[in-house]
């Protein structure tokens, strides 16, 4: 059975930049308060006219350019997102049309911050079994459209940025590629990080009552999320190491979901590694949910932090709870 190889990466963020002090127009906050709690200095937000599919298209074109492929070579599209343009159909359908691909399979995957790694895992199975040859996996988010920009929603409102990252996958013809993927979920804790509406449970559809109550805004129990994240990140990283008989000394770089710099620091401490082994760009983009790992991976490649033959680990934790990892030999 053949391995799956990432042959192209690309990312795109909106032009609009909001620095921490810009948020003071909506809520009681400060640059110092935000940086101390998250490490974030600024984030990119979409304009009124932009949506997740626009970001996905721009990132996909860059990934295809790096891979040196034409759109017609793609035979499956997977988009990880929790901020799709429409309730239905999915962003993957829109991306297919925008790329001019007439009837190839497409679907959205909803695993929040773990979505891109979940998408890699699914794509890996399709390529390993020979069902598909060239797969486009995208993480795309425009969460600024529905975050609560009042002081009430400050704990989450200061965290999120918009953006998209994309990867083109094909069968590897050598020892490089995805070594293993590992996906997990624990639904019992879902209401520690969730957006209750709009939905079909109770009175959660969009109406004045649900808007006023905050049901249609994301909510987070920050203490519980932090506690679980710093537990699950090391677990799923070690799972990837054990599966492939690797040690942390064999790993060039760990690229975690960019949730919070304090979480990354705590994970590094638990693993017993320095922060030079943990990639971070949260200060520039904030938490871009499903887009954060492909954005970070693209930047790490551009900065020369990953070379041919290097072993890397992608690791994610997010709403659900979901958590996941992928061990990759570049």
Name the active-site residue from 228, 257, 260, 311: 257
CA separation, residue 234 to residues 44, 252, 254, 293, 320 (Å): 29, 16, 11, 16, 18
Name the active-site residue from 20, 192, 228, 287: 287
- 140 forms beta bridges with 164
**Distance in angstroms (rounded) separating the CA atoms of residues 221 and 25:** 25
Sign of the alpha-carbon dihedral angle for 314, 308, 57, 96: negative
Name the active-site residue from 113, 132, 182, 311: 113
Q: How many CB atoms lie within 10 A of CB 205?
A: 14
Catalytic residue check, 216: no
Helices (H), ranges, the chain:
31-38, 52-67, 91-98, 115-128, 154-157, 208-213, 222-243, 261-271, 282-285, 292-302
CB burial readout 303-330, b (16+ within 10 A) else e: eebbeeeebbbbbbbbbbbbbbbbbbbb
For 172, residues 6+ apart whose C-beta sits below 8 A from its C-beta are 2, 3, 4, 5
Catalytic residue check, 257: yes
Task: List, by residue number, the catalytic residues.
Answer: 113, 257, 287
């Amino acid at each position: 059975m053949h391995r799956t190889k990432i042959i192209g990466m690309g990312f795109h963020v909106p032009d609009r930049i909001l620095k921490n002090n810009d948020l003071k127009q909506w809520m009681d906050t400060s640059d110092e308060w935000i940086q101390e709690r998250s490490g974030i200095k600024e984030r990119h937000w979409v304009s009124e006219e932009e949506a997740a599919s626009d970001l996905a298209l721009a990132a996909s074109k860059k990934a295809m350019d790096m891979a040196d492929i034409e759109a017609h070579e793609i035979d499956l599209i997977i988009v990880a997102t929790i901020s799709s343009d429409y309730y239905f159909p999915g962003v993957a359908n829109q991306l297919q049309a925008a790329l001019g691909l007439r009837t190839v399979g497409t679907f959205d995957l909803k695993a929040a911050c773990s979505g891109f790694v979940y998408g890699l895992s699914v794509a890996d199975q399709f390529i390993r079994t020979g069902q598909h040859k060239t797969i486009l996996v995208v993480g795309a988010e425009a969460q600024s459209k529905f975050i609560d920009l009042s002081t009430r929603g400050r704990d989450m409102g200061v965290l999120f940025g918009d953006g998209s990252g994309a990867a083109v996958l094909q069968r590897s013809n050598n020892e490089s590629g995805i070594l293993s993927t590992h996906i997990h979920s624990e639904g019992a804790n879902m209401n520690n990080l969730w957006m209750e509406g709009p939905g079909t449970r109770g009175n959660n559809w969009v109406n004045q009552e649900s808007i006023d109550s905050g049901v249609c805004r994301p909510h987070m129990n920050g203490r519980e999320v932090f506690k679980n994240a710093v537990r699950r990140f090391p677990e799923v990283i070690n799972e990837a190491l054990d599966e492939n008989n690797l040690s942390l000394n064999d790993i060039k770089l760990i690229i975690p979901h960019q949730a919070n710099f304090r979480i990354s620091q705590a994970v590094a401490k638990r693993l017993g590694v320095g922060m030079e082994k943990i990639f971070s760009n949260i200060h520039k983009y904030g938490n871009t949910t499903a887009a954060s790992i492909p954005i970070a991976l693209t930047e790490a490649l551009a900065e020369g932090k990953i070379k041919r033959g290097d072993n890397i680990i992608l690791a994610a934790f997010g709403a659900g709870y979901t958590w996941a990892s992928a061990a990759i030999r570049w």
